[in-house]
Amino acid sequence: MKDQDAKTLSNTQRAVRDLRQMILSGELAAGTDHLESELAETLGMSRTPIREAALMLESKGLLEMRPRKGVRILPVSSDDMREIYDILTELESLAAQRAAQAGYSDDELEVLAGSIAKMDQAIEAEDLEAWAEADELFHQELVRLGGNKRVEAIVAMMSDQVRRARATTLFIRPLPVKSNEDHRVVFQAISEGRPDVARERHREHRLQAQAMLCRILEKHRLNSL
Amino acid sequence: MKDQDAKTLSNTQRAVRDLRQMILSGELAAGTDHLESELAETLGMSRTPIREAALMLESKGLLEMRPRKGVRILPVSSDDMREIYDILTELESLAAQRAAQAGYSDDELEVLAGSIAKMDQAIEAEDLEAWAEADELFHQELVRLGGNKRVEAIVAMMSDQVRRARATTLFIRPLPVKSNEDHRVVFQAISEGRPDVARERHREHRLQAQAMLCRILEKHRLNSL
DNA sequence: GCATTCTTTAATGTATACGCAAATAAATGC
DNA sequence: GCATTTATTTGCGTATACATTAAAGAATGC
């Protein structure tokens, strides 16, 4: 583990991984500025790999490099949320459609089925953290089954941008019972090889989730996360 | 012009711009490898800004950095084409829908209308280069009107990845007469504020364009561009 | 000749140095 | 006191140096 860390990964790669983690966890809070030299010292390396890592994270939309002002951790506004969910809706629906077209066997759909089971258990136990984790797995696996690497990359990027917000939104949203039903329907459509149904049902699911999220963000006046 | 170049742009930014241009123009051919030091000498700067630029272009999917093998200009396979067109179809349709919802005035739709006019003229003159340029403008402006910056960025990225292929495909495809009709229908739907029509018609347009492209790529055995 | 080991070469990853320009602080004039 | 100019600081952009290590080439044994 530590070997992997020191031996096979370059400092730049470690910096990408660690900075990303620090941003997602909130250790580097949204809206805060950080000098390259500070980050370098924190991660125990020189400015060079820090700059390279920051460049990559900038193109992933997690931060912004502003000359003399340091690296700024980008906040996510409710407008940003709308943009991101619009994209996730389209691309995940496409993935659902393609997954249904691919004609996967039950074996190949095991992970997807498992994620739904986990969500059910989590709801039973009213464990929101566990539910969110399983939900993430479902969406990630769905996109993987879609078989489009670029869609996978884009969805991962968008997910990263909103992940930080989840900590806030997770506990002010209603218990996601309906969500699980939706997942089951989508799963069935994929399993039965019905692309149009998979696509449309997943699209509906996403649109509703988005509307719900926007409502609660507005209600709680959460404009920047 | 040259002032802009030297004074306001950093070397890294120039490198991004110039390398991108060299890739799109084919001066740096798909599949070829280039040492960082070579590129540095070519652009008259040190390796540092070259590396930074390469990192950015790597995350835009134009090249790949492989230790000791140099920077590799990524070829685009027909599978890649399918991935990219799938994404463009979804995101542009979304943009068309949102543009129609936005209720733009005729003034605001002037650029879009202009691009269609240019395409008509180009077809009249059988000037494929001019047509392609106007077509690009149409799609770009459509996405801009969609009002989602992230969609804009993603579409631009995907367009870059296939632009190189255009030089090849442009002259083996049928004269894009049908394409222009489609554009007009989409434009009208946007102008009249009919989101569903705009979305569906643009989607149809894209799906057909994609099918046509895939057919000719297959016919001509063009698997890597 | 062919495989194998040892050298050598060379490209990268990273640290470091430094000039420049922007931001801040200080000083000067009014 | 306030505005304006002049120092000063400081963070970045970029060049450069260097250690590391993969790959190519040479040499050796069989």
φ, ψ (nearest 5 deg) of residue B71: -85, 125
Are A73 and A63 in contact by the 8 Å Cβ rule? The answer is yes
Produce one character per residue of B166-194: b if its CB has 16 or more CB atoms within 10 Å, e if not: beebeeebeebeebbebbebbbebbbeeb
Confidence bin at A16 (pLDDT 50/70/90): very high
Same domain (yes/no): A55, A83: no
- Residue A3: predicted pLDDT: 45
Q: Using the beta-carbon criterion (under 8 Å), do B60 and A55 form an inter-chain contact?
A: no
pLDDT > 80? residue A4? no
3-state helix, strand, coil in chain A (%, to 5): 70, 5, 20
Confidence bin at A216 (pLDDT 50/70/90): confident
- Residue B1: predicted pLDDT: 44
CB-based contacts of A116: which residues, under 8 Å, 6+ apart? A134, A138, A180, A183, A184, A187
Q: Using the beta-carbon criterion (under 8 Å), do B52 and A52 form an inter-chain contact?
A: yes
Measured CA distances, A62 to A29, A32, A139 (Å): 11, 12, 20
Q: Is residue B180 part of a domain?
A: yes
Identify the CA nearest to B192 among candidates B119, B109, B93.
B109
pLDDT > 50? residue B86? yes
Tell me the CATH number at B186.
1.20.120.530
Same domain (yes/no): B68, B96: no
pLDDT > 70? residue B28? yes
Q: Is residue A31 part of a domain?
A: yes
Same domain (yes/no): B181, B104: yes
Same domain (yes/no): B49, B86: no
Q: What is the pLDDT of residues A188-207, one digit of tens each?
A: 999 999 999 999 999 999 99
DSSP count for chain B of H helices, then E strands: 10, 3
Q: Is residue B224 part of a domain?
A: no
Same domain (yes/no): A68, A158: no
* DSSP one-letter code for B203: H
Same domain (yes/no): B155, B88: yes
Strand C footprint nucleotides (protein C-beta < 7 Å) = 11-17, 22-23
- Residue A169: predicted pLDDT: 85
Q: Which residues pair with B70 in a beta bridge?
A: B66
Are B178 and B111 in contact by the 8 Å Cβ rule? The answer is no
Q: What is the pLDDT of residues A135-190, one digit of tens each?
A: 999 999 999 999 999 999 999 999 999 998 888 888 888 888 888 889 999 999 99
Q: What span, in angstroms and rounded, lies between the C-alpha atoms of B68 and A68?
A: 33
pLDDT > 80? residue A5? no
Closest-CA distance, A83 to chain B, in angstroms, reads: 6
Same domain (yes/no): A69, A87: no
- Residue A106: predicted pLDDT: 94
Q: Is residue A225 part of a domain?
A: no
Confidence bin at B61 (pLDDT 50/70/90): very high
* Residues of B in Cβ contact (< 8 Å) with A61: 150
Q: What span, in angstroms and rounded, lies between the C-alpha atoms of B200 and B208?
A: 12
Same domain (yes/no): B25, B130: no
User: Which of the 47-106 residues on chain B come under 7 Å of nucleic strand D at their beta carbon?
Assistant: 47-49, 52, 67-69
Q: What is the pLDDT of residues B42-54, one digit of tens each?
A: 999 999 999 999 9
Structure tokens at B58: 């790597």
Q: What is the pLDDT of residues A92-150, one digit of tens each?
A: 999 999 999 999 999 999 999 999 999 999 999 989 999 999 999 999 999 999 999 99
Q: Is residue A224 part of a domain?
A: no
**CA angle B215–B219–B223, rounded 5-degree value:** 90
Count how many domains chain A has: 2
Q: Is residue B140 part of a domain?
A: yes
Same domain (yes/no): B102, B49: no
Q: What is the pLDDT of residues B120-169, one digit of tens each?
A: 999 999 899 999 999 999 999 999 999 999 999 999 999 999 998 888 88
Q: Is residue B186 part of a domain?
A: yes
Domain's final residue, options B32, B57, B73: B73
**Cβ neighbours around A168 below 10 Å, total:** 15
CB-based contacts of A78: which residues, under 8 Å, 6+ apart? A214, A217, A218, A222, A223, A224
Confidence bin at B4 (pLDDT 50/70/90): low
Are B23 and B73 in contact by the 8 Å Cβ rule? The answer is yes
Q: Is residue A117 part of a domain?
A: yes
B67: CB within 7 A of chain C nucleic strand: yes
Q: Give the alpha-carbon dihedral of A130, A135, A140, A142, to 10 degrees.
A: 140
Nucleotide nearest A47, CA–C1', reads: C15
Same domain (yes/no): B142, B50: no
Positions of E strands within A14-60: 33-34
Tell me the CATH number at B25.
1.10.10.10
DSSP result, B33-84: EE-HHHHHHHHTS-HHHHHHHHHHHHHTTSEEEETTTEEEEPP-BHHHHHHH
How far in angstroms lies nucleotide D12's C1' from the CA of residue B75?
35
Same domain (yes/no): A147, A182: yes
Helix A47-59 to helix B47-59 angle, to the nearest 10 degrees? Answer: 30
Same domain (yes/no): A103, A124: yes
Domain's final residue, options B47, B73, B99: B73
Domain's final residue, options A30, A56, A73: A73
* Residues of A in Cβ contact (< 8 Å) with B84: 150
- Residue A1: predicted pLDDT: 44
Q: What is the pLDDT of residues A19-29, one digit of tens each?
A: 999 999 999 99
Share of chain B above pLDDT 90, in %: 78
Which domain, by its residues, includes B89?
A: 78-219
